[in-house]
Amino acid sequence: MHSPSAQLSFRQVLAIPSVRRLWIAQLISVFGDFLAIFAVFSVVTFNFHGTPTQVSLILISFLTPLAIISPIAGVYVDKWNVKATMIASDLIRGVLILILVFAKDLNTIYGVFVLLSAVSSFFIPAQAVAVRTITPPTGLLAANALMSQAIQSMQIIAPALAGLLVQWVGANACFIFDSASFFFSAAMLSAITIDRAPISAEHAARTVFSSLKQGVTFIFTHSAISFVVIAMTTGMFAVRCFGALLSVYVRDVLAAGSAIFGGLNSLIGVGMIIASQMLPRLVRRAGHEMLVLCGLGGMGIAVLATATFGRISVTAATMLGLGFFAAFVMIPSQTLLQRETPQEMLGRVSSSLMSLLALSQVFAMFAAGPVAQSAGIRNLYFASAAMLLTIASIGGWLLQARRSRSAATAPPD
């Protein structure tokens, strides 16, 4: 696929008022989310003395509705007013988070996370549509990189601040701040103009099943989109298998403690931020699809080195590399999806990808433990590396074959 040569810089993209407001809303909201998530894990672990299974159910409670509801939510996002959908989602989530202030048992916490996930199933594809609508095509890569940087920056900063807040004033302060961050996001979104073309009468008249079928058919008949879906889903499965037991690897293989574990997680975020700064230049040279393949291969090498050497210094370098190459997969893939998908079905396509990513993470969390227990954690990591390298190799071969066919059928100059 041809990639435009003149990519907008981060500064140029942030000069667009609507993009800047959406990015600020994302920054504050994500920061609040990380505070609340850390606080929830703290409450369940230390106040409720939760077992490992009870703690893991927090994440499963959030991922499962995303996997189930997202495809249907995408159908409605393609029909509804995008701005109103995002604002309503923020307001509802702002109220739901406040329930955690009064939660006295695990079932209440699980229920809140199920509801948060259900509402987020509408917000996430609506945000993808908004980014595509308010950003010029040549600025999509930079816009997606900025959104990713917001998440990674807060992933590095928020845990330390959340720990201090929980220790000084309690977990409820984190929940209240997260609630306020959703209301702040809604206020920022209300100032954004999103001029999406009205949907056609044919699409408006389609049933939910018909609309969903149209979106799924598009995904698997469009080579670039199917490439994105397969790359991101398999990559997420392999990385989640790796990340789900990183704490066990730190304890049993590296013979280290929680400080090293926290530092290694932060290095993944640092790697992603570094890579996102370089992507606008790299995409001009290699193209989106080649960067995704390089990212999968680089992630595979990082996981392979982690499993092979078992040393803290090497693991620190590989965590930095894992985050660096993960950005090569996530950001160009999202840009490709937004650029290649027709505007009227972007919600369905984005939500279908989100559903597959959530499913892959749930399956990985269920699979990683038994495999590591029976075969050993290093062998699990070797298998994850093999999966990433295999997908990268197959994808490279298919991409080269497709380019050869296109060159053979192109008319002579």
> Poorest-confidence range of 14-18, 97-101, 181-185, 249-253?
249-253
- Check if 8-192 and 218-404 are the same fold: yes
CATH class of segment(s) 8-192: mainly alpha
- Pick from 168-172, 228-232, 324-328 the range whose average pLDDT is largest: 324-328
For 147, the token pair is 């959104």
Q: Which residues contact 97 (CB under 8 A, 6 or more apart)?
A: 36, 112, 116, 175, 178, 179, 182
What burial class does residue 209 get, using C-beta atoms within 10 Å of its C-beta: 0-12 exposed, 13-18 middle, 19+ buried?
Answer: exposed
d(CA 70, CA 91): 19
Q: Average pLDDT of the chain?
A: 86
- Lowest mean pLDDT segment, chosen from 74-78, 97-101, 206-210: 206-210
Whole-model pTM?
0.79
Instruction: Between 249 and 301, name the one with better pLDDT.
Output: 301
Would you state the pLDDT for residue 367?
A: 82
How far is 296 from 97, CA to CA, in rounded Å?
36
- On the question of pLDDT at 185 being above 70, the answer is yes
| CA nearest neighbour of 247 among 261, 266, 229 | 261
Domain boundary assignment for the chain? 8-192, 218-404
The secondary structure of 5-60 as a DSSP string is S-PPPHHHHHTSHHHHHHHHHHHHHHHHHHHHHHHHHHIIIIIS---HHHHHHHHH
The pLDDT of residue 4:
47
The superfamily (CATH) of domain 218-404 is: MFS general substrate transporter like domains (1.20.1250.20)
Q: Is the pLDDT of residue 221 over 60?
A: yes
- The model's confidence at residue 403, banded by pLDDT at 50, 70 and 90, is confident
| 1 CB neighbour count, 10 Å cutoff | 16
d(CA 152, CA 274): 10
Cβ proximity of 147 and 95 under 8 Å? no
pLDDT per position as a tens digit, 107-151: 999 999 999 999 999 999 999 999 999 999 999 999 999 998 888
CA distance 174 to 222: 43
